[in-house]
Chain A
Amino acid sequence: MEALTSLIGGFAVLGDPANIMYMFIGITLGVLIGVLPGLGGANGVAILLPLTFSMSPTSAIIMLSCIYWGALFGGAITSILFNIPGEPWSVATTFDGYPMAQQGRAGEALTAAFTSSFFGAFVAVIILTFLAPLVAGFALRFGPAELFAVQLLTFCSFVGMGKEPPFKTIASMMLGFALAAVGQDPSTGELRMTFGWYEMLRGFDFLIAVIGLFGIGEILLTMEEGLAFRGKSAKINPRIVLETWKKLPRYWATAIRGSIVGCWMGITPGGATPASFMSYGLAKRFSKNGANFGRGELEGVVAPETAAHAAGTSALLPMLTLGIPGSPTAAVLLGGLLIWGLQPGPLLFIEQPEFVWGLIASMYIGNIAGLIVVLTTVPLFAAILRIPFSIIAPVIIAICAIGAFTVNNALLDISFMMVFGVIGYAFKKLNYPLAPLVLALVLGDMAEGNFRNAMILSDGSMSIFWSNALVGGICALALLMLFWPAISAGMRLLRPGTSRRPAE
């Protein structure tokens, strides 16, 4: 099968020892980043992105995706040992993971978490391998109108499927678009919203926003919890690992279900977080030990972890094939690809197959390597977290500042980062979603470009958006998503007799 031959070709790219080294460095950095608060997946990748400019795009993306992996794994460590979810999608892991740690079964929980993550991600990568070329081939038929429709669908799904109030989702998204529009209009060259301020010519870089929103914002939020950072100790040795591995196959159904939920949610821009919750909820309902969930049930760790990692991995599928990132971290990776001059989308598979398949191959090996690295170094990372917050916090902020600076060599960006930090803090507290903001910031110019081109093709008529079944179908779905909150509220009101939950 063609996919397999391409994959094998991809592995050849990894034969280069430099790439293998980058892989391991990436994973180690990734776990470190995932473990430290404020340096989570999207932020960490954002900070390290400019450093990779000197590498070849293939090596750089391999390292960055391994950082992504490592961060996925690392989030579980803090969730289980400290009851602090390292990433939003590790929240569900704390439900059973932390009680297990409290009962002295931290090693078991960690092993289960890492192995489940490995499994979920592995399933997702296999699906990605075979599905990606198909989707890419299909996507070749997409013209600007279709591409815009897909992007529209993405954003409308946030409104429809998100748990945040729709008004806030829209406002957050629009803020992202507005920030993306600042600077030079790519089509006409006119200056937008710069107000005569020369520095604003560059516009807002999504990397600065990500570092500020997710990094600084996270630190500010952590400060609210006070400076306490006490965690359970973890003893993980081969014996515990083997014993846990013997127990895990019992939960194969949960794992498979989790992976499928994850893959599905990851491809749609729902993301890893709802996937992990959904998987946890399903497992709780269908499991024999459902009643025990929340008190240290091993299955309660398997379910969210498989889903979260499957989702995190499959978020890369739409990114590579359509140029639509399924998660903020994928958005950052997308931004990176754009910076290197690679255009994600169907043409990427045709024009740069070595890059794409090298990346996909690295996901397999990176996954395995990640599991090994993480199982062996858990005590080390747990120890790092014991460094008092009063030392870690300023160091993290300093690293964020460095990261923000290296993007454009602009001092002003560091100040912007702080502003974004305050925004991130306020938004999180007020239940404004951050993901649509970031996605809008990354995709804003592209979406507008597609819209413009579609309009030019149709001579200014909106009818191009339902000119054929594909575009029309996607647009209809998008509109459905957009108005879903209103529709479902209406349905609730119309159904008599059902207990009326107060509308949010």
Chain B
Amino acid sequence: MQHEEQGGESLVSIRKADIVVALIMAAIGGVVIMDSLRLGMGWSEYGPESGYFPFYIGLAMVVASLGTVATRLFRKRDSGGSFVERQQLVDVMKVLLPAGVFVFLIGFIGIYVSSALFIGAFMRWLGRFPWHTIVLVSVCVPLALFLLFEIWFLVPLPKGPLEDFLGY
């Protein structure tokens, strides 16, 4: 795979990220164990109680994750390099944050309008396309999707004030 090394500074090393994620996993395992204890992990007359299976799942998760942490801690030298470099993180955020806003907006103005705004914003800020291209694509694509899903497949998708106004 072509990788364009931009010589970015490493923000987080793989080692640190590995340990953090493993600890998070262990924490999740802990939550699972807690809930299993609440449900009961023994045996009732009907067989294993609700919490039986999840308890062992949680336990395995905690043990495995702590194992990962231990393996990492024992290998003192920082092998593996960088988890994410500054430029890479910026690039990823360029997608993640607008996508987050997009998802948030869906609940308010419907998916079609949100998509139009999302595509348009992307094309403007990251693609630097001329305005007429932006408007063309960011209107046509959601429109095509609308025809595809609402009219042809008859699959209802979240809609907002604009569609209400147009009578859908």
Which residues of A come within 8 Å of B, CB atoms?
Answer: 50-51, 54, 83-85, 94, 165, 167-168, 170-171, 174-175, 177-178, 181, 185, 187-188, 190, 192-193, 195, 216, 219-220, 223-228, 388, 390-391, 393-395, 397-399, 401-402, 405-406, 409, 411, 414-415, 418, 422, 425-426, 429-430, 432, 448, 451-452, 455-456, 460
**Is the CB of B141 closer than 8 A to any CB of chain A?**
yes
Q: Contacts A391-B127, A418-B100, A430-B14: A398 and B115 contacting too (C-beta < 8 A)? A: yes
Find out whether the CB atom of B32 lies under 8 angstroms from the CB atom of A193.
yes
Most buried by B among A174, A388, A391, A432: A174
Find out whether the CB atom of A167 lies under 8 angstroms from the CB atom of B67.
yes
The residues in B between 97 and 140 inclusive whose CB is less than 8 angstroms from any CB of A are 98-100, 102-103, 106-107, 111, 115, 118-119, 121-123, 126-127, 129, 137
**Is the CB of B165 closer than 8 A to any CB of chain A?**
no
Find out whether the CB atom of A391 lies under 8 angstroms from the CB atom of B123.
yes
Ordered by A's residue number, 24 sampled pairs between the chains whose C-beta atoms are within 8 Å are: A51-B153, A167-B65, A178-B28, A181-B57, A185-B50, A187-B50, A188-B46, A188-B50, A219-B95, A220-B95, A394-B102, A394-B118, A394-B123, A397-B118, A398-B102, A401-B111, A402-B145, A402-B157, A405-B111, A406-B155, A429-B17, A429-B83, A430-B17, A451-B48
Q: How far is the CB of B23 from chain A (nearest CB, A)?
A: 11
Give the distance in Å from the alpha carbon of A84 to the alpha carbon of B1 in the complex. 6
The residues in B between 36 and 87 inclusive whose CB is less than 8 angstroms from any CB of A are 39, 43, 46-51, 53-54, 57-58, 60-61, 64-65, 67-68, 71, 83-84
Q: Contacts A178-B58, A452-B47: A224 and B103 contacting too (C-beta < 8 A)? A: no
Find out whether the CB atom of B118 lies under 8 angstroms from the CB atom of A190.
no
Which residue of B43, B53, B122, B142 is within 8 Å of A393 (Cβ)? B122
Q: Contacts A216-B99, A390-B122, A430-B21: A171 and B50 contacting too (C-beta < 8 A)? A: no
Give the distance in Å from the alpha carbon of A394 to the alpha carbon of B125 in the complex. 12
Which residue of B32, B92, B157 is within 8 Å of A178 (Cβ)? B32
Find out whether the CB atom of B99 lies under 8 angstroms from the CB atom of A226.
no
Q: Contacts A391-B122, A397-B102: A452 and B48 contacting too (C-beta < 8 A)? A: yes
Find out whether the CB atom of B57 lies under 8 angstroms from the CB atom of A225.
no
Q: How far is the CB of A294 from chain B (nearest CB, A)?
A: 15
Q: How far is the CB of A141 from chain B (nearest CB, A)?
A: 23
**Is the CB of B167 closer than 8 A to any CB of chain A?**
no
Closest chain B residue, CB of each to CB of A410: B158
Find out whether the CB atom of B50 lies under 8 angstroms from the CB atom of A227.
no
**Is the CB of B164 closer than 8 A to any CB of chain A?**
no
Size of B's binding interface in residues, CB under 8 A: 71
In order of increasing CB-CB distance, the 10 nearest A-B pairs are: A390-B127, A170-B64, A174-B61, A167-B67, A171-B64, A398-B115, A394-B122, A390-B126, A394-B119, A190-B50
Which residue of A50, A171, A178, A418 is within 8 Å of B54 (Cβ)? A178
**Is the CB of B31 closer than 8 A to any CB of chain A?**
yes
Closest chain B residue, CB of each to CB of A190: B50
Which residues of B come within 8 Å of A, CB atoms?
Answer: 1-4, 6, 14, 17-18, 21-22, 25, 28-29, 31-32, 35, 39, 43, 46-51, 53-54, 57-58, 60-61, 64-65, 67-68, 71, 83-84, 88, 91-92, 94-96, 98-100, 102-103, 106-107, 111, 115, 118-119, 121-123, 126-127, 129, 137, 141-142, 145, 149, 153-158
Find out whether the CB atom of A460 lies under 8 angstroms from the CB atom of B106.
no
Give the distance in Å from the alpha carbon of A399 to the alpha carbon of B64 in the complex. 36
**Please, which residues of chain A bring their CB within 8 A of the CB of B71?**
165, 167
Find out whether the CB atom of A448 lies under 8 angstroms from the CB atom of B25.
no
Q: How far is the CB of A483 from chain B (nearest CB, A)?
A: 14
Q: A50-B155, A174-B29, A451-B53 provided; 18 other pairs, C-beta below 8 A?
A: A54-B154, A165-B68, A178-B58, A181-B53, A181-B54, A190-B50, A192-B35, A225-B2, A225-B3, A394-B98, A394-B122, A398-B118, A398-B141, A401-B111, A405-B158, A418-B100, A426-B17, A455-B48
Closest chain B residue, CB of each to CB of A425: B92
Most buried by B among A84, A195, A224, A227: A224
Give the distance in Å from the alpha carbon of A190 to the alpha carbon of B50 in the complex. 7
Most buried by B among A54, A165, A178, A418: A178
Give the distance in Å from the alpha carbon of A460 to the alpha carbon of B45 in the complex. 10
**Please, which residues of chain A bring their CB within 8 A of the CB of B158?**
405, 411
Find out whether the CB atom of B54 lies under 8 angstroms from the CB atom of A395.
no
Give the distance in Å from the alpha carbon of A165 to the alpha carbon of B71 in the complex. 10
Q: How far is the CB of B15 from chain A (nearest CB, A)?
A: 10
Give the distance in Å from the alpha carbon of A226 to the alpha carbon of B8 in the complex. 12
Q: How far is the CB of A416 from chain B (nearest CB, A)?
A: 10
Give the distance in Å from the alpha carbon of A224 to the alpha carbon of B18 in the complex. 19
Q: How far is the CB of B88 from chain A (nearest CB, A)?
A: 4
**Please, which residues of chain B bring their CB within 8 A of the CB of A175?**
25, 28, 61
